[in-house]
Structure 1
Amino acid sequence: MDYHKERFQDYSLMVFKKNKLVSILPANIVANKLYSHQGLSYGGLIFLNKSSFQVCLGSFYAILEFLFKQKIITLFLKQLPKIYCIRPSDELDYLFYNLKAESYRKDVSMAIQLNNDFEFSTLRKRQLKKALQNDLKVKLDTDLTSFWNDILTPNLNAKHHTDPTHSISEISVLRDKFPNNIKQYNVYLENELYAGCTVFETKKVAHLQYISTKKDRNIGALDFLVNHLITSIYKEKEYFDFGISNENEGRSINEGLLNWKQSFGASAVVHDFYKIETKNYSLLKNIMI
């Protein structure tokens, strides 16, 4: 998170049991409110693999008690989407119920479960057929500059009057730190760049962080690229995550964007946000009987 540390007042927490680190909470503070780190796409309370229910309970109790004593009134917690968990891990969902937590936001992401049956829509199949008539090539590029400056940023400026969340310098720093987890795939026709995507990889998931194409000529470059990623590059992953289609802090969905993702066979994965009053930490005290 260091690349944008000046934008946030970090207040990340670590929980120890007998000097062993058992959980972490990436977070930032605003006045007397603590947030799952607002500079991260995903967050939440992260546990060691194979942590017991009791460790999860004890960690959350310790965090809320600590925050209450520090006069931090409210914790805004964004759950890690379930497709990213190494194994089922719904302990916090149960604890939210006991804490009388408020579900204040839900984002809708679209993902393909790659080890299950999925099918492209008729339109996607038609676009892919068009793409295959061209001599398109997918390349793994180490330099993100051309995609960022020539396609992604101009498209976002023109359509949404905004820039990418990451500047070219920021994404380059991140990619250099995590070369095995951040990949740039570009599509070329006769050495001319037509489309590209930036993929964030985890053990189970390939997440499509950025994707964009030239608008002046429809040769099916995006369809060709997504098809190649799904059926070749990431076919051994469990999920291919297209990311969210929300606007207005989760209350609205960009239907055109949603339909495009659904047309590849993707279905909904919800990202949950909870508001927790730290004074309620004592409600976790007598769960075990």
Structure 2
Amino acid sequence: MDGLKVIRYSSADFELWNQFLKGSKNAPFLFHRNFMEYHQDRFEDFSLMIFSKDKLLSLLPANIVEKEVFSHNGLTYGGLILSKSIKFEKVLEIYKAVLKYLNQNNISQLYIKQIPKIYSKLPTEEMDYLLHLTKAEIYRVDTLSVIKMNSNPGISSNRIEGVKRAEKLGLTIEEKNDFEEFWNEILTINLKEKHNAEPVHSLEEITNLKKSFPKNIRQFNVYQDEQIVAGTTIFESKNVAHSQYISGNELNNQLGSLDFLHYQLIKNVFPDKEYFDFGTSNEKQGMNINKGLQFWKEGFGARTVTQNFYKVATENFNLLDNIFI
């Protein structure tokens, strides 16, 4: 481990960071610096890069708040990004080096939003064990509703009825390159009325992200007589199609618009993905589940995957000594 060097990311490392992602086993496009930096004005970056001599071994996308580091407050998930070829012992050394570096820089706590396993190309549970060894606290657990696509998930009669209503009414689906209709006429209105909230991404932000990631961020709208009635924003990675935003107008249940849309996405647009991720139905920091939303997602054959949120004291790096016998 003495040969490992931990440094803070700087803009000079932009190309090296992004190049490493291409050979990693657990790095969806959200970790690309062009994605991470769309909201750089809101988060003080504290991303780390771990080297052995001149070879980059791992990345930690992170931000800092006072004396605590978060991986990552501005992303859906975080944690150590690892290469496909890395072995367990080296992961232990990297994690220990990160904790020691943080501790030596007067950072008391490291918070990690676990990357759901469905986003990994290879097994990635080394960190589950190492977090346990360092007495990490699981302070929050979210649930994701996920379809394993090759399992021939059964679709409930309720969802099929919605699809048939939409077809009978002549609803149509279009993939769009702009987000203005969905953001202004459906999504923002619904979030304001139902939750007194706004989308995580502004219209300007999602539009700019689409320009940077045209193949990863896709917008599908549903129309009745050329009027938008529903839509979903898909974040597409190698293994997973994820509905980042799902919203329909007040006639959604009568029209079956969201049933129709997601049936077509699952069956005809993304059938070759390993997983379709509807995302979380949690509210109140993971302590409650929106029952109706969960029921709707499970009607497509989705089942539950968990995402753990960890908190670990950086001084516990020495608990990783003498693990091997």
After TM superposition, is the score higher than 0.5?
Answer: yes
Aligned to 2:229: 194
Deviation at 1:119, TM superposition (A): 1.1
Residue-by-residue CA offset, 1:7-55 (whole Å, 9 max, x unaligned): 1111011111221111111111111111111000121111112311122
Among candidates 183, 188, 207, match of residue 153 of structure 1: 188
Q: 1:116 aligns with which of 146, 151, 160?
A: 151
Could you say which residue in structure 2 is the equivalent of 1:106?
141
Matched, 1:287 2:323: yes
Identity of aligned residues (%): 47
- What amino acid is aligned across from residue 72 of structure 1 in structure 2? I
Which residue matches 1:127? 162
- SS of alignment partner, residue 301 of structure 2: coil
Which residue number corresponds to residue 18 of structure 2? Answer: none
Alpha-carbon distance, 1:189 to partner? 2.4
TM-score, length-scaled by structure 1: 0.97
The corresponding residue for 2:292 is 256
Aligned counterparts of 2:258 and 2:225: Cα–Cα separation in 1: 16
Other-structure match for 2:33: none
Residue aligning to 1:171: 206
What stretches of structure 1 move > 3 A for 4+ residues in a row?
none
Give the distance between the partners of 1:125 and 1:251, measured in 2 at CA.
Answer: 31
The CA deviation string for residues 158-217 of structure 1, in whole angstroms up to 9 with x for no partner, is 111111111000111111111110000111223221111100011000000001112146
CA RMSD of aligned residues (A): 1.1
Question: CA separation in 1, counterparts of 2:205 and 2:63?
Answer: 19
For the residue of structure 2 that corresponds to 1:108, the secondary structure is strand
| Partner Cα separation in structure 1 for residue 54 and residue 88 of structure 2 | 19
- In structure 1, the partner of 2:78 is 43
Partner of 1:236: 272
Q: Distance in 2 between matches of 1:50 and 1:189?
A: 50
Letter in 2 for 1:65: K
Deviation at 1:96, TM superposition (A): 1.3
Residue 63 (1) aligns with residue 98 (2)? yes
| Gap runs ≥5 in structure 2 | 1-35
Q: Which runs of 5+ in 1 are unaligned?
A: none
Match of 1:220 among 248, 256, 263: 256
Alignment length (residue pairs): 289
Contact 1:45–1:79 under 8 Å retained in 2: no
